[in-house]
Chain A
Amino acid sequence: MIVSRLILVGMLALAGTRAWAATGPMPQLSADMMAQAVEDDTFSIPTPGELLAALNKEGKPNWQAQYRPPIPTTYTSRPQIALNLGGLIADGYLAVEAEDSQQVKNIGKDIMTLAKTLGISEDVLRRGKSIEDFAENNEWSTLKEELEATQNEVKLAMDDQHDEELTTLVTMGGWIRGTEAVSGWIANNYTAPEAKLLRQPAIVALLRKKLEALPAKTRNDELVKSLDGPLRTIQTMVSFPPGQTPTQADVKSLHDTAADLISAITTNK
């Protein structure tokens, strides 16, 4: 099963990856080696599950407090659809974490509406029968694992229909909405260890790099163009030094910036 998924999905192509002469154990990596390290979003960007696992060690957050009202599902711009699809996916993770099957159903309805406009095929959508069963049986732990395991398969489907740039925007929308929700929770239930979890400078840098690499047509979309300024601000906010702890006001400011960005993304143009 795992191997078949492997064959189906394929692996990260390392064409162009810099390989170095191995000289045995190195006490220090050079700046050049770090700058040219392999970066891939299926490996270098943590899953929401990893962040939630870290947060859960500090207590069981009430994710229902971070729910938001339903968003419009009548967008016509494909980049805007993709960004909002990502946001809804983040909402789905929160609902799973909250073990709230009704909210998953509500979000699923909106996701389906947006997904159909992007051409996600019914064949692909039918692949998650087991996940559906886990959800209906409230097998939340297994559901989380199945959710992560299915990600690459769906990504392949988008790749097949030449929508690579849209999956970048889905990632972007999901990360921004996730940041809004997590920072909102921490701002309202502040502890220093949780605030330190918001330090993720490399993730934002990688997302901005991917934004710059989008095809010109997508990159020049008005909404997409408007993302980089706020993302640069967010990058500064989550790039505090390793020994520093953001204050509650810092976390609130990060939440407000992410919330403003989500508001712009969800506003029907």
Chain B
Amino acid sequence: MKSLFLRAILIGAIALGPAPLRAATDGEVAAHEAVLDLAGAFTNDGFKLRDGDVAGTLKSGEAVVVQVDLYAGNQYWFSVATADPKTAVSISLYDESGKLLDTSPYIDPHRAAAGYSPDVSGPYYVRLTNPGAPATYCLIYSYK
């Protein structure tokens, strides 16, 4: 009977569809550790961490846009960090019309976060920008 529970949940874990998987680089692992450290503060405030992330490398002066889907009534924190503690990154959130939203900001030397509570369910866009040196980054989010 115990194994039944286990199996139910493990197979339940297949619920998400396929993503292109590959081994994480050392930089991505470092960026992930850094952003988890930041998101831990939100977890302590009752936010649940989504077990997915977007990671990659941004050259100096580049930006990347990531689509997310949010539900009205929930609160969200989007957190990003770079692998190098000296390399800054910034984060901003846009609605589905592309309009910049007012978010609760958090910024430190190589990490940033944006908090938002949507009034409308639907697609939103997270924009990461790298004003400095080339950076390996990791983006995650939390909700409650």
- State whether these chains interact: yes
Query: Are the C-beta atoms of B15 and A197 separated by less than 8 Å?
Result: no
CA A22 – CA B134 in complex, angstroms?
Answer: 12
* Interface pair A128/B6, CB less than 8 Å apart: yes
Q: What is the bound-complex CA distance between A20 and B5, given in angstroms?
A: 46
B9 partner, pick from A17, A54, A128, A201, beta carbons under 8 A? A128
A79-124 interface with B by 8 A CB criterion: 85-86, 88-90, 92-93, 101, 104-105, 107-109, 111-112, 114-115, 120, 124
Q: Is there an interface contact between A6 and B14, defined as CB atoms closer than 8 Å?
A: no
Chain A's nearest CB lies how many Å from the CB of B65?
4
B interface secondary structure, majority: mixed
Do residues A202 and B8 form an inter-chain contact, with CB atoms below 8 A?
Answer: no
Residues of B within 8 A of A46 (CB): 69-71
Q: Known contacts being A21-B62, A203-B69, is A10 close to B24, with CB within 8 Å?
A: yes
Given contacts A46-B71, A57-B73, A135-B9, are A89 and B15 in contact (CB under 8 A)? yes
- Indicate if A47 sits at the interface (CB-CB under 8 A): yes
Q: Interface range on chain B: under 10, 10 to 19, 20 to 34, or 35 or more?
A: 35 or more
Q: From B6, B50, B59, B71, give the contact of A131 (CB < 8 A).
A: B6
A105 close to B21 (CB less than 8 A) = no
Q: How far is the CA of A148 from the CA of B49 in the complex (A)?
A: 9
Q: Are A51 and B71 in contact (CB under 8 A)?
A: yes
Count of chain A residues near B, Cβ 8 A: 111
Shortest Cβ distance from B9 into chain A, in angstroms? 4
A115 to B16, CA, bound (A): 15
Interface string of A188-211 (1 = CB under 8 A from B): 000001001111111100000010
Q: Are B13 and A20 in contact (CB under 8 A)?
A: no
Which among A45, A135, A165, A197 is the interface contact of B121 at CB below 8 angstroms? A197
Contact yes or no, B121 A151, CB < 8 A: no
Would you list 23 pairs from A and B whose C-beta atoms are within 8 A, ordered by A residue? A2-B36, A6-B32, A13-B19, A21-B62, A29-B94, A33-B98, A40-B52, A44-B67, A46-B70, A51-B71, A54-B73, A111-B12, A125-B6, A127-B10, A128-B6, A132-B3, A136-B5, A149-B51, A152-B13, A154-B11, A197-B121, A200-B69, A200-B121
Interface residues of A (CB under 8 A from B): 2-3, 6-7, 9-15, 17-22, 24-31, 33-34, 36-51, 53-54, 57-58, 85-86, 88-90, 92-93, 101, 104-105, 107-109, 111-112, 114-115, 120, 124-129, 131-132, 135-136, 143-156, 158-159, 164-165, 167-168, 170-172, 174, 193, 196-203, 210, 242-243
Interface residues of B (CB under 8 A from A): 1-24, 28-29, 32-33, 36, 48, 50-59, 61-74, 92, 94, 96, 98-100, 120-123, 125, 127, 129-131, 138-139, 141, 143-144
